[in-house]
Structure 1
């Protein structure tokens, strides 16, 4: 898959949480974007002093095939106080363009996986690749009879990115379980699968199994490292624990 450089034109944006925006773009050169769910793009810009820099964003677009010309490229952007990328995105008007490259990354579902279950674990914007994977996961649940558990950590209900979408998917697709883990504040009327604490505290509840599970870890590096060590103790071989760390940059 060739890495391309291309302009992205902003179509719409909305706030997912107090400090996270959902941005929808289209390629402004009329070309398709050949990507696999789980991959990311890089956005290129300059600091105030003219120094070139870039930031990486996983594609959140729900799709089971490459994006055709004119189809929306969606990302979730965390706002960092004083951040150069935050300033870029906050000042971007609809119809404005940014420069991007990609796709990059191998944090994707493997076509030859023979597991019985996926354990998808995320914090913050680390959940965006799993949103993109939903059509693939639905097909695997249907075709292979697998189970999927999404453990998603957030501090408060208002910070649970795409939470309504994941709950609706879980309600519609038997075999998919959505387990939000809130470290600070629970919703007023919590679903039975809501947990109070950090995602790594609830791994034991799902009895990770080295013979049948493949795990994906995405988000806060401390969470990724803690879950990686725990999953190894449960017997998951290292190739069955796929990781991507998200570090906020100014």
Structure 2
């Protein structure tokens, strides 16, 4: 898959959380962006002094690749106080353009995988690639009855990015897909949509043992906060998972 440089035009944006926006673009050159779920793009811009810089964003686009490459290019953007990228995205109006390149990365589900279960572990915007993987997971559930656990860490219920979509997917696949939000600061209100049976209080790495990771059955994906990624990586190795069965991507906030 060739890496390309292309213009993106903003179609819409909405707030996923108080400091995270979901942005939907199309390529302004009329071409689709063919990508593998789990990959990312880079957005290029300049600082006030003219210095060139770039930021990386995982693609959140949900697309059925059986139908060919999609037109939408969707990303989740965390706002960082005083950040140059934040200023760029907050100032972007409908029809506004940014310069991008990609796709990049290998944080993807592999066709040769023969595992029985995926352990998908993420924090914050690190859950974005898992949203893009939902059509693939749907197909794997139907084709080989794969099991999936999504452990997602957020501080509070309002920061549970794409939570409604993951809950809906879990409802459609109750025997195969478990969505387990872990809230470190504040639990959902009783009776709210977020207060379903699999909610945990604490950090994702605290609950990894509960799911009994197995070298014979599991492939794990870790995406998000570097401390979480490192802690879960070490815990999974203790459970016997070889390094090739632990796939990692760290998110570091840049201003």
Task: Pick from 233, 237, 243 the counterpart of residue 232 of structure 1.
Answer: 237
Report the equivalent of 2:49: 49
Gaps of 5+ in 2: none
Report the equivalent of 2:204: 199
Report the equivalent of 2:160: 160
Alpha-carbon distance in structure 2 between the residues aligned to 1:165 and 1:186: 19
Report the equivalent of 2:183: 182
SS in structure 1 opposite 2:75? strand
Report the equivalent of 2:32: 32
Q: Say how many residue pairs are matched.
A: 248
Alpha-carbon distance in structure 1 between the residues aligned to 2:13 and 2:69: 19
Q: CA deviation at 1:72?
A: 1.1
Report the equivalent of 1:129: 129
Task: Pick from 199, 215, 232 the counterpart of residue 220 of structure 2.
Answer: 215
Shift >6 Å, 4+ stretches: none
- Give deviations 1:11-51, integer Å, cap 9, x for gaps: 00000000000000000000111100000000000000000
SS in structure 2 opposite 1:87? helix
Report the equivalent of 1:95: 95
1:103-142 → structure 2 map (5 Å cutoff): 103-142=103-142
Alpha-carbon distance in structure 2 between the residues aligned to 1:72 and 1:247: 25
Report the equivalent of 1:5: 5
Alpha-carbon distance in structure 2 between the residues aligned to 1:242 and 1:170: 23
Q: Is the 8 Å Cα contact of residues 64 and 133 (structure 1) preserved in structure 2?
A: no
Aligned residues: CA RMSD: 0.7
Report the equivalent of 1:242: 247
Alpha-carbon distance in structure 2 between the residues aligned to 1:170 and 1:152: 13
TM-score by length of 2: 0.96
Q: CA deviation at 1:125?
A: 0.2
TM-score by length of 1: 0.98
SS in structure 2 opposite 1:242? strand
- Give deviations 1:161-201, integer Å, cap 9, x for gaps: 00011001100123011000000000012211000000000
Q: Is the 8 Å Cα contact of residues 10 and 23 (structure 1) preserved in structure 2?
A: yes
Alpha-carbon distance in structure 1 between the residues aligned to 2:239 and 2:25: 41
SS in structure 1 opposite 2:36? coil
SS in structure 1 opposite 2:92? coil
- Give deviations 1:119-156, integer Å, cap 9, x for gaps: 00000000000000000001101111110000000000
SS in structure 2 opposite 1:143? helix
Alpha-carbon distance in structure 2 between the residues aligned to 1:133 and 1:63: 9
Q: CA deviation at 1:67?
A: 2.9
